[in-house]
Structure 1
């Protein structure tokens, strides 16, 4: 089957602004040059194939227990922290950073180590159905450029940031001047722009207000404006962090105000965690059009807190889901969907006043369409609207060793719910990005270029 000119006939499930889940049965979806060119009833397939010049041999007919969903979108993940997944989770945030995170991230100055590790994390994340990821890398520019090369080779869509940090960090792992940090960030952005990757965007990435001085954050805000690129950072993840930021920036009214004064709150900003936002901060974030990345596994694993997602959504704040590897120990957005529901259920139990928690279908929308909105990609991906690029997962509930049992009375909606709660990567039989199959049923990657060179992309 020609990778960028084909059609799929069967069942499709996606989210819209009107419905958390829309099921489309007996449909045929056509893809040409990576984009969805039609989505119509199967009885019209011959007309549509003729209209768009798609050969009949390029039509895939799904089996009974198969369906297609949009690719998952991870709005917050630390690629270099993957070796630590599942380690050190008995600690609080700041202690965990000192003992586990910073020493591991320092290792990425070794480009051979970086190449091996980054290939493993991107492969693992793709295998779990994440077609778009918003990555933190490290402070090392060359290692971050190498990560981008590997992502490009494996075919994932991504936002990737070289991390900035010049204070309150270990001497062995920090940038030692504002000028150094800005020069290296500019070199990174300009190099990415010159490479002209189809699916990779540079993103300005101050780690958080504790590790960046005021001047550095302002200069980073200027860079983001100059290149018109996104911003990602952390905010209000733990009480101790909020108190520390307050002591560092006494002239600012809040944590969010620190970023706002630096020009870092824009309509292309993604803020991870946001557990302890004040009402004024919520209103400021909404006014600026910034988005929130909800990372429920991480928030529970290192006991940071319980984000009230429903409150943010009701107040009009954009929210997507993140794994936050390795504060979150699982690289799958399926885990984020499940834990997001559990956290929301916890709020309902505590409130005991008719609080309506997230359903698993609400979380599915956060993982797809709302994640695309959070990353300003909703005109490109997120659901199966005609004209968008085909980023998708072929789900098979009858795949070998599947943990999902389907019964005769189960509807298509039931099958989705069962996959979201009990499925895993074994049910993901193909992963498509921009209409190209980047992972097939045997978990074999179709790479853009050879990966024989360990430093490919550097």
Structure 2
């Protein structure tokens, strides 16, 4: 991936944007799976962080007058630019960011022991946590991730530091203090009592943050291997008490799946462990899902839970390939995840490419053409699909009146960039170019809830 863009203002400051403004030019989003909708002469008006009008260029004056938008707050997109919804990362481990690109000679379980647990143990150090968390939030925003669903670590203070970093830089996020009271190394773990006490304290800390509308707590049992059933059941009760999201891992690796069977012999399968604990809800995000059985897929769909597809991670750690089409065909909500640092890149654009590539390789293995995902489908998974997976599609995910203005201005003509436009291309082809060739240098502006948080 290319190096980060040069920014105008200092990147760790949110930039002031008028409470009302509008954009004129190509608007790109999804309203249903697999179909990108484009309005080349579009107009989108924003007031107090929300989309207040979608119209056409021809009605510019009327829209501006109706919503009190002055001419100096008009933005006109030029050829090679388009406006799209912000990208949504449904699974990312913020503390693992220093390890991105390292340790991929190992598979999941060895990688956790040798790389992941040692780095995560360091986050009792507040200064270290601040350094890393500021870096990962800035980097994901630079790559167009307006919403991220973060795992932190077991440390209460470190998890709060991540929340403060997210607030400081203006990202929308779900943040979870990790729970792990079983099968953990001596240097990195917690008791059941500590886990529950600190988790509840973290939820209350997030709820008490001033101006915390962009940040939500998420109950985060690491995975069934590292939490006993008593802890998982009590976490399920806590999620219900506070009506919060839940995130964990499921069926990522064959050895992991077999280990879960030995730990929970009375459960029908891996997913049933979570179901028995009351952890499957319409706000649950299960990362990976590579080896889900038909019965497990049915259970996940019945609870309206979601799967975060992490193709770059699944390849790097040699875990396998998730059959995304099968999940979608059976009614499971699916979003995309970078899974830093199992995945090497903090960019959801990179994950979109990875999802296409993984699906093609799966079609070779299975001899099923239907496995293949196209660029319009992964665009959906990265935007509206991710919003649905997080049960937040009433607020974000596409460009509709009443939704929060989480949006990106994409530019494919300015340099430096890996993209050369050497012949006339319509907007759909520009979108395709961005998915296959784009990086952070093409993300010209990033808005979260109408606030400008990045500008090249």
Tell me which interval the TM-score lies in, with the shorter structure as reference length: over 0.9
Of 168, 188, 191, which residue of structure 1 is paired with 2:205? 191
Give matches, 1:266-415, under 5 Å: 266-415=281-430
- Which residue of the other structure, out of 226, 231, 237, is the alignment partner of 1:211? 226
Unaligned runs of 5+ in 2: 1-15
Instruction: Summarize the alignment of residues 43-122 of structure 1 with structure 2, pairs less than 5 Å apart.
Output: 43-122=58-137
Query: Following the alignment from structure 1 to structure 2, what is the Cα–Cα distance between the partners of residues 369 and 217?
Result: 30
CA separation in 2, counterparts of 1:19 and 1:303? Answer: 28
- Mapped partners of 2:173, 2:35: distance in 1: 24
Superposed structure 1 runs of 4+ greater than 4 Å apart: none
Deviation digits for residues 271-298 of structure 1, max 9, x if unmatched? 0000011111000000011000000000
Q: Aligned to 2:164, what secondary structure does the other structure show?
A: helix
The residue matched to 2:21 in structure 1 has which SS?
strand
Distance 1:53 1:261 in 2: 54
Q: What is the deviation of 1:20?
A: 2.2
What is the TM-score normalised by the length of structure 2? 0.95
Secondary structure class of the residue paired with 1:293: strand
Q: Distance in 1 between matches of 2:335 and 2:105?
A: 26
Q: How large is the Cα RMSD of the aligned pairs? A: 1.0
In the alignment, the residues of structure 2 paired with residue 242 and residue 356 of structure 1 have an alpha-carbon distance, to the nearest angstrom, of 23
1:19–1:37 CA distance, 2 compared to 1 (3 A): farther
- 1:231-274: per-residue Cα shift (whole Å, max 9, x none)? 00000000100000000000111111100110000110000000
CA distance in 2, matches of 1:111, 1:289: 37
Secondary structure at the counterpart of residue 426 of structure 1: helix
Name the SS for the 1:437 alignment partner.
strand
TM-score (norm 1): 0.95
Is residue 2:18 matched to residue 1:8?
no
| Count of aligned pairs | 440
2:17, 2:452 within 8 Å by CA — same for their partners in 1? no
Partner Cα separation in structure 2 for residue 293 and residue 25 of structure 1: 31
2:270 aligned with 1:255, yes or no? Answer: yes
Q: CA deviation at 1:350?
A: 2.1
Contact 2:20–2:46 (Cα < 8 Å) also in 1: yes
Query: Which ranges of structure 1 fall in alignment gaps of 5 or more residues?
Result: 442-458
Match in the other structure for 1:171 = 186
CA deviation after TM superposition for structure 1 residue 355, in Å:
2.5
Q: CA 1:129–1:231 in structure 2 vs 1: closer, same or farther (change >3 Å)?
A: same
2:50 aligns with 35
- Cα deviation code 1:18-69 (max 9, x no counterpart): 6521111111110000000111110101000000111111001111111111
